[in-house]
Amino acid sequence: MLLQVHLRPELRKQLKTPEKLRFDPPVQFSTYTDSFGNICTRLVAPKGDITFSNRFVIRNSGKPDVMPVKARQADVEDLPDEVMVYLLGSRYCDTDKLATLAWKKFGKIRRGWPLLKAILDYSHERIKFGYPFARADRTAFEGHTERKGVCRDYAHLAITLCRCMNIPARYCTGYLGDIGVPLDPNPMDFSGWFEAYLGGKWHTMDARHNHPRIGRLLMARGRDATDAAISTAFGSAELKRFEIITKEI
């Protein structure tokens, strides 16, 4: 199995207690850093049930996401080499199927923040959220067509439309507790959002909530959910129970 359940390395300095990754029954494991800077855990799971858990306390600024309202959009020829991959199609971000639609809907909107905001609003309104709508293999085009999904589907659609309009965008996954917002009665889950490249910087964007949030904790990022999968099993594996607890203390 391959797991991405650690926080991103750049968040370690904010930890008040170290992460405690545990396996029951105990198994040997190793970690490495992938090409996107994510910490990956490798293990061979024994036959039968196995439980993974992680626990930590971290300090957060308490400030909401900052929207890049004055950031300028660079021409493609002026973008750094390392961000070019985030303009290309990927497994769940099928730009070839949405490019024509994107240019028809957004081609006349002023570049930069106005364009990015229009894509956020469209993605937020296009998809209906529901946990029963979750599907592991839904692409951005399918999410746009079916008009339903979960947080990763909002992110994939917005990422794809951004790439079609020459805004580099990448997928993110991590923790997002109900801090500064009304309590959600549904069980907690990991959250999917994305980052857009404007004004020479990456900026956190959330097409599902479409509102600045407090307390995001980034675990992994990449081209789409393939690169930031919480768990990948190379063989048969059944998820029996899943619980996330994120709270302010």
**Full DSSP string of 29-47:** EEEEE-TTS-EEEEE-PPS
**How open is the CA angle 66-218-127, to the nearest 5 degrees?**
70
Q: What is the pLDDT of residue 185?
A: 87
Give the separation between CA 169 and CA 85, rounded to whole angstroms.
Answer: 9
The CATH number of 76-228 is which of 2.60.40.1120, 3.40.50.12500, 3.10.620.30, 3.40.1160.10?
3.10.620.30
Nearest to 50 by CA among 22, 30, 20, 24: 24
Tokens linked to 133: 């709508």
Please report the pLDDT score of residue 183 as a whole number.
87
The C-alpha atoms of residue 166 and residue 103 are separated, in whole angstroms, by: 10
Regions of the chain short of the pLDDT cut 50? none
Task: Give the tokens for residue 208.
Answer: 């599902």
pTM: 0.96
Give per-residue pLDDT as tens, 21-70: 999 999 999 999 999 999 999 999 999 999 999 999 999 999 999 999 99
Query: Which ranges of 67-203 does DSSP label H, i.e. alpha helix?
Result: 95-106, 113-126, 140-146, 151-164
| Res 187: pLDDT | 87
The upper half-sphere exposure of residue 26, i.e. CA atoms within 13 Å in the direction of its Cβ, equals 0
List the domain boundaries for the chain: 76-228
